[in-house]
Structure 1
């Protein structure tokens, strides 16, 4: 059964990771999905894995002059193009498909919204056409890119921000929210300016920090890197993201990012000045205060399922690096009746063993430790 309240067919313009994942999810929900991408090979991969069928019309001609045989025009257009052309594709879609709801999924919303508003002011778009645009941002992704990395469950339980403008038509907002809900996401409504300021801090700054730290590793001796553990891997994980995509994102949101970087620069200057003379009176206190400020900020990050932050106890189990070990531990955890709040694995340098870190409620740590020890597991 097709999603209720979603005008169909749905045309997805852009078959990268997100566009293809949206297609897979909507198809699984019963929606009729067209695909279009300037790259024939990317579109072919998306089609082959079942994200949709090719749009039969010509998207290179003049909007409003759709050739015969183009099939049923789309009722909803999802613009999943690269960020630097998203605004152009949104405006083209509003002109090309009168009456269709057009939404985009770019990670910066203010820039596209301003482009659409400017097109209404200069007469390129009518007010009615502009009202059918809604900016959205699914807060999901992977380090890998392209349609081969797509999966229909990518957005499950992820935030999906809907940035409706003052003039957005109610039916357009409803359709945008229906796309998000159909894909299993959680809808959040925000003003475009508030959204851009938020992602500058929670998404764009971490990417910059990870890339800057990782850049220090380029000339690091292999013997030094052999000592690294989860701390370095966790800190630098997102540094593997697509550079070309991030050039576009950072350029589009430069004003908001700059304000945060100015603050980071002040903190760095403060730390550098302190470290240049660490034995000076008050130096150690200043370092401790900087670390404490980091603790305070980290404590504000929402916990499991978006609940208030909660401290968990960690039970560390040594496991052999052989098939079935992790599942066997988790089976015994389940038998003990203890819920796993979080899970991570650290590998021991030079030994074919791993340390499975199981986070549980603090009051159940000893209970789980005793249960696993009784089952023969080595608990650290």
Structure 2
């Protein structure tokens, strides 16, 4: 059985540093490299590893650089005999694999991977050893991938406490175009409508627009690297979305008509979009990767003071109610917000009563 004792992480951004932190925390000696020496030193200062060169071959080299630089970085590392096995964590898999073959890379020592985790912030200071816990980590082995390399990759996933998912590289790229890359662009498109909006409109922003535009805060440079490596599949998804948008615009225009028949037809079109959205949302995995459960929401008014959330969770614990999920809706211009506690339906009345008894204001 393969046991990883040493690793090299090339690229100390969010993903690379997070992986290094997880490995170091579990006893693996990690050697850090980055084209920006300050980034590597920052990661080392956070406890992610050391910037010293390894004395010999490491067990696994983890390449965490933008997709356009993956093949060259891997080829240089293999040429130097850095590791027994090599993998990358880029969000696109087909292109790097083809580039490596063109460079004459020994593909028996390589496996493409992609952890489905990230944050709006980038860089080593945004990293955390818990970033991958419970998240899918895609592995794309080929017929050429050596069993030892596959086992090293599986060990990395286990040490990061992620969930391994084996896929074909091209299927992976189509999948992430749908569930990751297109949502990023759509979020950015909606957020772009706010750039020159009237201030009176922006002041009305609530939780819905915050949810939709959250990932629009991501680094444009990083996303240009990703989208440049997967433009075709993303364009295919956006083309289908564009067709839906055209139909939706026509339906909305019809709802403005003085003709009852056209208004009804337009309304039916909008209802169809909303119902298809319901059906698609149901397929998004919920807690622990299972089908999403139907939770009840207990909304609690909380003040903007230190310790309020901790006190709320402690009171929920005292009521012996498990909080399945939580969202916070902030009140514009006020030092207060709503903590939306998602609980099992049978637990909602119990939690509501218990929190009222402890002085909390429960909102419908």
With the shorter chain as reference, the TM-score category is: over 0.9
Counterpart position of 1:10: 7
Question: Where do residues 272-291 of structure 1 align in structure 2 (5 Å cutoff)?
Answer: 272-278=249-255, 279=257, 280=262, 281-291=264-274
CA distance in 2, matches of 1:237, 1:28: 30
TM-score, structure 2 as length reference: 0.94
Q: Cα deviations across residues 108-144 of structure 1 (Å, max 9, x unaligned)?
A: 011111112233xxxx34xxx2111000111111111
Counterpart position of 1:60: none
Counterpart position of 2:188: 211
**2:54 matched to 1:104?**
no
Unpaired runs of 5+ residues, structure 1, are 57-69
Counterpart position of 1:167: 144
**Match among 43, 46, 63 for residue 46 of structure 1:** 43
What's the secondary structure of 2:61's corresponding residue?
strand
Q: How far did residue 350 of structure 1 move?
A: 3.4
Q: Cα deviations across residues 191-226 of structure 1 (Å, max 9, x unaligned)?
A: 111111111111111101111111111112233212
Q: How far did residue 374 of structure 1 move?
A: 2.1
Q: How far did residue 55 of structure 1 move?
A: 4.1
**Match among 56, 65, 69 for residue 81 of structure 1:** 65
Q: How far did residue 11 of structure 1 move?
A: 1.2
CA distance in 1, matches of 2:4, 2:313: 44
CA distance in 2, matches of 1:88, 1:7: 25
**2:114 matched to 1:140?**
no
**2:358 matched to 1:362?**
no
Question: Where do residues 219-298 of structure 1 align in structure 2 (5 Å cutoff)?
Answer: 219-278=196-255, 279=257, 280=262, 281-298=264-281
Counterpart position of 2:311: 328
TM-score, structure 1 as length reference: 0.90
What's the secondary structure of 2:196's corresponding residue?
coil
CA distance in 2, matches of 1:41, 1:350: 39
CA distance in 1, matches of 2:188, 2:10: 30
CA distance in 2, matches of 1:357, 1:95: 54
**2:79 matched to 1:95?**
yes
What's the secondary structure of 1:272's corresponding residue?
helix
Question: Where do residues 311-326 of structure 1 align in structure 2 (5 Å cutoff)?
Answer: 311-326=294-309
How many aligned positions are there? 357
Counterpart position of 1:65: none
Residues 66 and 226 in structure 2, CA contact (< 8 A), matched pair in contact too: no
Residues 138 and 167 in structure 2, CA contact (< 8 A), matched pair in contact too: yes
Unpaired runs of 5+ residues, structure 2, are none
More displaced stretch, 234-243 vs 368-377: 368-377
Instruction: Classify 1:311/1:102 alpha carbon distance in 2 versus 1 (closer, same or farther; 3 Å).
Output: same
**Match among 178, 188, 197 for residue 165 of structure 2:** 188
Residues 6 and 179 in structure 1, CA contact (< 8 A), matched pair in contact too: no
More displaced stretch, 341-350 vs 135-144: 341-350
Q: How far did residue 236 of structure 1 move?
A: 0.5
Q: How far did residue 262 of structure 1 move?
A: 1.1
